[in-house]
Amino acid sequence: MNELLVGDIGGTNARFALWRDNQLHAVRVLPTADYTSLEQAIQAYLHEQGIARGELAAICLAVAGPVDGDEFQFTNNHWRLSRRAFCDMLQVKQLLLLNDFSAMALGMTRLLPGEFQAVCAGDADPARPALVIGPGTGLGVGSLLHLNQQQWMAVPGEGGHVDLPVGNAREAAIHQQMQSQIGHVSAETVLSGGGLVRLYQAMCALDGVQPVHLSPAEVTEAALAGEPQALAVIEQFCCFLGRVAGNNVLTLGARGGVYIVGGVIPRFAELFLRSGFAASFADKGCMSGYFAGIPVWLVTAEFSGLLGAGVALQQTMSLPRN
C-alpha cells in the first residue's frame, strides 16, 4: 500500500486522516493526553484503519512552531519528535512538517460551499496575495499565493504580534488601560481567546462595571444572551479585528481576499456579521477606497488544517524528482 497520512496537532487534540484522491478520508480526533507520544497516537490511528507500519508512503503533520532541524518540541502539548526516530519507528520514508498556520492557509484552497460565508462582497484578484487571519489560542496571520493552476504557497508571518491599532478615543482609552496593566499591547493581546477576557476586563474598568465573567466562553454566552456589557466587548473585539486585518491587507497588497479563520469568531458568527468589522476594516483615511471590492469570508470549515496538510503533501509528492 502507498497510503498518505495527514495530521493537525493541537494542544488538546490531534486530528488525523488519510489523504486519497485529493480529499480527506477517515478523519479521527484523538486527545493528546491519552497518548505518551505522537508515534503512539499515530499507531493507534493506523491500527483502527487496518494499516500496518511500512504501508505509509508519506506523512505530513501541521504543528505549532518552527519546523527546522531534526528535533521538534510541540509548543502546546507534552510531545517531542525526532524526525529520524519517527521515520524509523513508523517505517515511513518521507515526513513533512508544516507550520500549523501555513496548513490553515493552504486549507483555504479546498473549501466547499457551506464552509464559508461572505462578510464583505467583492471579486478576488487571483494574481494578488490573500490574507488568512485567525483569532484562536493566539492570533495567526499569514498570506496565500497562487503560483499556478496546481500550486499554492503559504507564507507564514508574525502579524499577530504587531501593535494593536487605535482608531478613536474609546480605543485609545482601552489601549491605555491595558498598557497600564501589561505593558506592550499587541494585536494578539486582544484578538485571541484569552484576549477576549482581557478586553472585557479593560472595558469593565473603564465603564465602572464589576467584571463577573472569567472565561471567553462566559463572555461569549453573555453576549449571545443579550448582556449589554458583553455585547459591547464583542463589538469592540470585531472592530479591532477589522483594523488589524485592514492593516495587513495594505501591507501585503492582499486583493486576493481575506479569510477569517480560527475558533473564536464562529462562536458568535451572527454578532460578527452585524458588527463594525467591515467599517473598521476599510477605515484607512485616504486609503479607504483601496478596500472597495476586496472580498472577506468567514470560514467555518472544521478541518482546514488537515486539508492544508493534504494540499502541502500532494504538492510535495507531485514535484519532479532530481
Grid cell locating 61: 503533520
Residue 322 has pLDDT above 50, yes or no: no
Share of the chain above pLDDT 90, in %: 74
109 is in an annotated binding site: no
C-alpha dihedral sign at 203, 205, 207, 208? positive
- Using one digit for the tens of pLDDT, what is the confidence trace for 52-65? 888 999 999 998 77
Domains along the chain? Answer: 3-99+303-318 (3.30.420.40), 116-300 (3.40.367.20)
Of 95-99, 127-131, 154-158, 190-194, least confident by mean pLDDT is 154-158
Q: What integer is the mean pLDDT of 126-136?
A: 93
CB 186 within 8 A of CB 163: yes
How many angstroms separate the CA atoms of 200 and 213, rounded? 8
- pLDDT at position 158 is 82
Count of CB atoms within 10 A of residue 174's CB? 22
Q: What integer is the mean pLDDT of 17-31?
A: 93
68 is in an annotated binding site: no
34 is in an annotated binding site: no
Q: In degrees to the nearest 10, what's the CA dihedral of 184, 189, 191, 192?
A: 160
How many angstroms separate the CA atoms of 235 and 276, rounded? 7
How many angstroms separate the CA atoms of 245 and 131, rounded? 8
- pLDDT at position 128 is 95
Closest Cα to residue 238, out of 289, 186, 283, 274?
274
12 is in an annotated binding site: yes
- Using one digit for the tens of pLDDT, what is the confidence trace for 203-242? 999 999 999 999 999 999 999 999 999 999 999 999 999 9
Q: What integer is the mean pLDDT of 143-161?
A: 86
10 is in an annotated binding site: yes
In DSSP terms, 298 is beta-bridged to 117, 260
What mean pLDDT value characterizes the chain? 91
11 is in an annotated binding site: yes
Q: What integer is the mean pLDDT of 148-164?
A: 86
In this prediction, residue 72 has a pLDDT band, given cuts at 50, 70 and 90, of: confident
Q: What integer is the mean pLDDT of 165-193?
A: 96
CB 160 within 8 A of CB 138: yes
How many angstroms separate the CA atoms of 103 and 100, rounded? 5
